[in-house]
Amino acid sequence: MHIHIVAGGPFEYIPPLEREASQEDVLWIGVDRGTLFLLEHGITPAKAFGDFDSVTEEELRELKEKLPALNVFQAEKDETDLELALNWALSQHPAHIDIYGITGGRADHFLGNIHLLYKGIQHKQNITLVDKQNIIQMFEPGTYEIKEDQDKKYVSFLPFGTPVEKLTLKGFKYPLKNCHIEPGSTLCISNELIHSNGTFSFHEGILIMVRSKD
């Protein structure tokens, strides 16, 4: 099972969801106004989470009528709406979690959502943040294969919190071997694959990978 979470936008950054919506093994979750976005695109979420302070009273009544599994929380709470949804998704132990509707708006929300990727590391589960221009993932030490993506050809790597030790990039335009990457370094910004696939590996730290297009 794959879980797709749609948060509150801005929605113009969300890529078309038709292909994912046609897949039988996908479970959809709405977060706050993202729930309305799903319904407007013909997708009925299995669950919805949030304080729903970004919808009108009429829209909230509509959501309650259409979605029995609507989880409404107080606005004053310790977790963001997205974190509440992600916690539930992680408890289902899916094969993968994709999150949409989390870029292009408030910077504090976006940075907080980057930090939520670390929950995937803690739970040994894969989480991807997706918009029209970027795919963002986080990795713990290991060796990983990466395939060429003609649409998002740029690949960048950033350490998360602590240095990354012995980063090795193979099959890239700018290869590395056993490189030490400090937080604050831009050494690994805007690389590219030169073959149909490549690998990256590292021994210590946490690594963020961003795949982008202009």
Residues 181 and 84 reside in one and the same domain:
no
Closest CA to 97 of 79, 124, 78, 71: 124
Whether residues 19 and 117 fall in one domain: yes
Statement to judge: residues 126 and 53 lie in one domain? yes
Domain boundary among 105, 132, 159: 132
Sign of CA dihedral 116, 120, 121, 123: positive
d(CA 186, CA 191): 11
Is 194 found in the same domain as 176? yes
**Averaged over 133-140, what is the pLDDT?**
96
Domain boundary among 107, 132, 157: 132
Q: Which domain holds residue 93?
A: 2-132
Which segment of 29-38, 71-80, 85-94 scores lowest on mean pLDDT?
71-80
Quote the Cα angle for 153-159-165, to 5°. Answer: 110
Structure tokens at 183: 């937080």
> 163 and 205, same structural domain?
yes
Residue 77 reports pLDDT greater than 80: no
Average pLDDT over every residue of 81-88: 93
Indicate the number of domains in the chain. Answer: 2
Distances (CA, A) of 2 to 23, 90, 98, 145, 174: 10, 11, 8, 20, 33
Q: Which among 4, 35, 32, 33 is positioned nearest to 20, based on CA atoms?
A: 4
Structure tokens at 73: 């929380």
CATH of the domain at 196: 3.40.50.10240
The average confidence (pLDDT) of the chain is 92
% of the chain surpassing 70 pLDDT: 100
pLDDT in tens, 96-113: 999 999 998 889 989 999
Per-residue pLDDT at 196:
92
Residue 90 shares a structural domain with residue 180: no
Structure confidence at residue 192 as a pLDDT band (50, 70, 90): very high
Q: Are residues 151 and 126 in the same domain?
A: no
